[in-house]
């Protein structure tokens, strides 16, 4: 019988662990498959890890991995994929915003031969206006920069072992799961799901952390911002040619004293464009620097599997 692994990144989700185990066990045990739940505790500050160990005690279906600190959701997903033993892996949020019934739908598609099943948001659930606006902008930029439509994409996906291994073999440390899972290719389909209300707790993303996430992922997946610098340079060159002609005509016709406003405006404009451009280049430089250091994506402090602890689960 094939084994399906469900990976649940968890950060300060103490109220949701038990519920997630209950709901997923109920749903998955009705199917003709073996299953395991892999909880990745992303350096939670509350009782999340205690809850995971409690659930794992004597339950062979549950594996827990605990990070030494908060490394972020992307790292948690990669750690879960690296730990999972399944013939296919499903990544889902442990706040149950991704409905367990959709996991079953994905599983059936996998059994029909699909290798990547993307969860696509039918509706975005309840979000503040500002959040929806920011998310919308981010995905528009991402979609045009990467040429992958991501406006309704989510981290809710099923991947076949082949695709998981391909993803795990990528050397980059700054992985953007949502885009990489379509980048690896394979026979892909999608299922729509409605984003549920969070069962408990609050969203772990502030507007600021979302903005940082957006910038990090755009730069990790696309060099388009660097091309914007070239593009701005070209526009400035055209402007420069036009103004030079005007200046020369004025000089030769003897009316060259005026135009101080133009000078001030040009200095301000060029100055800010140069600084923004340097900032963009600097950002990429920082990313290259980080990749070059080759630090691991995450550090594991503890692993628990069906009640047996393995303290030297370092990676």
Task: Choose from Mg ion, ligand UDP, none: what does 118 bind? Cβ within 5-8 Å by kind.
Answer: none
Q: Could you give the CA distance from residue 165 to residue 81 in angstroms, rounded to a whole number?
A: 9
CB of 251 to ligand UDP, least distance (A): 60
The correct pick among 27, 97, 182, 222 for binding Mg ion (CB under 5 A) is: 97
DSSP line for 1-14: --EEEEEEEESS-H
Q: Which is nearer to ligand UDP, 139 or 205 (CB)?
A: 205
DSSP, res 30: T
3-state secondary structure of 65: strand
Are 116 and 160 in contact, with CB atoms under 8 Å apart? yes
| Token pair listed for 200 | 């408990």
SS3 278: helix
CB 29 → Mg ion: shortest distance, Å? 25
CA atoms of 215 and 169, how far apart (whole Å): 24
Q: Which residue lies nearer to ligand UDP by CB, 202 or 253?
A: 202
Under the rule (CB under 6 A), what is the footprint of ligand UDP?
A: 9-11, 13, 42, 70, 72-73, 76, 93-95, 97, 203-205
Q: Closest by alpha carbon to 5, among 58, 114, 72, 79?
A: 79
For ligand UDP, the closer of residues 94 and 167 by Cβ is 94
Shortest CB 76 distance to ligand UDP, Å: 4
Query: Which of the listed partners (ligand UDP, Mg ion, none) does 14 bind, with a CB threshold of 5 to 8 Å by partner kind?
Result: none
Give the nearer residue to Mg ion in terms of CB position, either 55 or 95: 95
Q: Which residues bind Mg ion (CB under 5 A)?
A: 93, 95, 97
């Amino acid at each position: 019988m094939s084994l399906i692994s469900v990976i649940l990144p968890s950060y300060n989700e103490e109220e949701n662990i038990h519920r997630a185990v209950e709901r997923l066990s109920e749903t998955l045990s009705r199917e003709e498959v073996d299953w395991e739940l892999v909880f990745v505790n992303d350096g939670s500050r509350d009782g999340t890890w205690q809850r995971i160990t409690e659930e794992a005690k004597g339950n062979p279906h549950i594996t827990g991995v605990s990070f030494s600190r908060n490394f972020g959701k992307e790292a948690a997903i990669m750690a879960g994929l690296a730990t999972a033993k399944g013939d296919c892996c499903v990544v889902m949020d442990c706040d149950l915003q991704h409905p367990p019934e959709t996991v079953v739908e994905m599983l059936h598609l996998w059994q029909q031969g699909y290798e990547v099943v993307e969860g696509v948001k039918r509706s975005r659930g309840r979000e503040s206006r500002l959040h929806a606006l920011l998310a919308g902008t981010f995905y528009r930029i991402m979609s045009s920069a990467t040429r992958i439509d991501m406006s309704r994409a989510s981290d809710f996906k099923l991947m076949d072992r082949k695709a998981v291994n391909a993803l795990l073999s990528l050397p980059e440390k700054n992985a953007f799961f949502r885009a990489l899972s379509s980048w690896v290719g394979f026979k892909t389909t999608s299922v729509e799901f409605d984003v549920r209300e969070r069962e408990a707790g609050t969203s772990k993303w502030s507007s600021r952390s979302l903005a940082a996430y957006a910038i990090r992922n755009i730069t990790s997946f696309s060099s388009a911002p660097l091309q914007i610098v070239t593009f701005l340079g070209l526009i400035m060159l055209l402007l420069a040619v036009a103004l030079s002609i005007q200046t020369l005509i004025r000089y030769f016709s003897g009316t060259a004293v005026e135009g101080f406003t133009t000078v001030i405006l040009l200095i301000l404009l060029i100055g800010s464009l140069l600084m923004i451009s340097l900032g963009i280049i600097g950002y990429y430089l920082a990313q290259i620097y980080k990749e070059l250091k080759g630090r691991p994506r995450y550090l594991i402090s503890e692993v628990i599997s069906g009640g047996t602890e393995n303290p030297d689960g370092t990676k």
